[in-house]
Copies of this chain bind each other. A is one copy, B any other.
Amino acid sequence: MLYLIGLGLSYKSDITVRGLEAVKNCTRVYLEHYTSILMAASKEELEEFYGKEVILADRELVESGSADILRDADKENVAFLVVGDPFGATTHTDLVLRAKKDKIPVEVIHNASVMNAVGSCGLQLYNFGQTISMVFFTDSWRPDSWYDKVMENRKIGLHTLVLLDIKVKEQSLENMARGRLIYEPPRYMSIAQCCQQLLEIEELRAEKAYTADTPVVGISRLGSPTQSFKAGTIKELAEYDAGEPLHSLVILGRQSHELELEYLLEFTDNKEKFKNDVIADQEYFKPAPWVPPVEEED
């Protein structure tokens, strides 16, 4: 059996009771280690908690070495642990499809991920549109295809969850060219950098998918003991020091109801200003006012 087990967001004890039982019954335990990190637990702490060795699975192992992961999984139990939910931000459908082809039974044990826990900022999950990813811009690569998606979401009043890039076990171009297996230290995009990149692309495209004054919510260390939220404009959060990773961001849409805004006000520096920023931003993509039809004359 291949178990795909979500670890939740932060604590080692965020695994479900059922998930922990499954891990204890596995002969090999892999931890997917390139799309996210468990914030409040190290590999060693997990090993002690599970009473099992934990094998870190980088992108290479998962994408090219899945035969290793699936080895003997028709006869033994193998666990593949994923921070968040196995079908959260990055799907592992490919691994499941390969297991099914090898006639290996698969069981999924779900958990919270940023995709649903983001609701704890107070905005209704109902009103989120498509999710976008923001990558670290480089000198030569500043992709902006996400801009159209934000536009599409905001045109119909929806919020946009922005997932921020993380770089784990990346090589520098030089080391890659020379074939040296030396890896850069991990990097996690901050809320401030994400907002700066948002501002840069809006300046370039100037189609007003959003403006510097559009309200956003910065989310730091969601689900961890030091979780925090900050509501303000993009311009304001471009200067915001959110502390340790992981961070994510929500760009507000027009569909924000009173109770949701009341909740967000707790996270602002200046309640009055934020309220006004929201009202001003709601003018964008506002439906035209209803005009009564002209009565026909007899």
Contacts and interface: CB of A to CB of B under 8 A. Distances in A.
Interface of A: 6, 8-9, 11, 13-18, 20-21, 85-89, 91, 93-94, 96-97, 100, 108-113, 115-117, 119-120, 122, 124-132, 152, 156, 158, 223, 259-260, 262-263, 266
A14 B16 contact: yes
20 contacts: A6-B112, A8-B16, A9-B110, A13-B18, A14-B109, A85-B117, A91-B122, A91-B125, A100-B266, A108-B120, A110-B116, A110-B223, A111-B111, A111-B112, A112-B113, A115-B119, A115-B125, A128-B130, A130-B158, A156-B156
A158 B89 CA distance: 16
Contacts of A116: 85, 87-88, 110, 112-113, 115-116
A125 B131 contact: yes
Contact of A120 (B13, B87, B129): B87
A94 B122 CA distance: 10
Given A97-B263, A124-B91, A156-B152, A16 B119 contact: no
Contacts of A21: 13
A13 B16 contact: yes
B13 A111 contact: no
Contacts of A85: 112, 116-117, 119
A173 to B, nearest CB: 28
A8 B113 CA distance: 12
B93 A16 contact: no
Most buried by B among A6, A87, A259: A87
A97 to B, nearest CB: 6
